[in-house]
A = this chain, B = another copy of it.
Amino acid sequence: MKSAVEPLKARRIYLLLRDRIVAGELSPGARLPGEPALAAEHAVSRVTVRRALDLLDKEGLVQRKAGSGTFVHDTRAVRPIVADLSNVLSHLIDMGRSTDVRLLSFGYGVPPEPIAESLGLKPGERAQRSVRVRLIDGEPFSYLTTHVPEWIGLTYSEAELAARPLLELIERSGVTTERATQAINATLAGPEAAAALDLEIGSPLLTLTRIVYEPSGRGVEHLHALYRPDRYSFHMDLVRTGNDGERRWSPALGWPRTTDKSKSEKSKAGEKPTRTPRVIKQRS
């Protein structure tokens, strides 16, 4: 068995720098602090900084010029996709970007207890489990694990699942979907997800867990989605509702907009990032 210990500090610095670049804090063309400076800043040796920069370089995020410095390269290719809170990204397709789905796994079995519970399954009852990866322009950005009660799952084939949206298939089976709940969170990539998303284990991931209910209140779909944060983020517009006494933000329903100039977001140096919303025009 090969032993281990993988880059840690190096990868960390790589990720931090990467975040700052993708977030727009370091604009294209800008020169990064020198290797000695970065080494001092992060209290590591220059060799380590160097490894981090090599990773950025290999990824094309940065261009190194001997004798001159390291410069931020084209970031446009790395700009994340933006979806609204209901997870709609159809506007991307309209923009000519191609999305593709790859079905990694398909089968029936007894799901873990919490999922069974959310689907209202009796102990021992089976469900269909599928794992899919969604790609945009050939690059994977989401890793979806879905569970559907067996009696629904049986109404469509594996091939159909690979080709059509699951929810559409569910509705085709005669089930009406009406309500859903979802939770957004963050995790680290485990081995399978990391492999599927072309990431290293331990990379941060955005998480979305959604349960779709039919009118009777029975769950018909349990979705667990993992997103690469550098390629996907949730975005929403809020409006102020309820005058003073009860001031609160509510989602702006007419949602389409995003017209304004690239409003980027980021915070201070050496901090956490967040993505830059994409300027998107949408049809309709």
Select A184's contact among B15, B114, B226, B234, beta carbons within 8 Å. B234
Copies of this chain, tallied across the complex: 2
State the CA gap A147–B271 with chains docked (Å).
14
Q: Which B residues are CB-close (under 8 A) to A252?
A: 179
Q: A8-B6, A25-B114, A207-B273 are in contact. Are A229 and B264 (CB under 8 A)?
A: no
State the CA gap A113–B268 with chains docked (Å).
10
Q: A23-B114, A25-B114, A112-B268 are in contact. Are A179 and B277 (CB under 8 A)?
A: no
| A interface, CB within 8 angstroms of B | 1, 4-6, 8-9, 12, 15-16, 19, 23-25, 27, 42-45, 80, 82, 85-88, 111-115, 117-118, 129, 143, 145, 147, 167, 171, 177-193, 201-211, 217, 219, 222, 224, 226-227, 229, 233-240, 247-253, 256, 259-261, 263-277
Select A270's contact among B192, B209, B210, beta carbons within 8 Å. B192
Select A263's contact among B118, B190, B226, B249, beta carbons within 8 Å. B118
Q: Do the beta carbons of A85 and B236 come within 8 Å of each other?
A: yes
Select A234's contact among B185, B192, B273, B276, beta carbons within 8 Å. B185
Q: Do the beta carbons of B274 and A207 come within 8 Å of each other?
A: yes
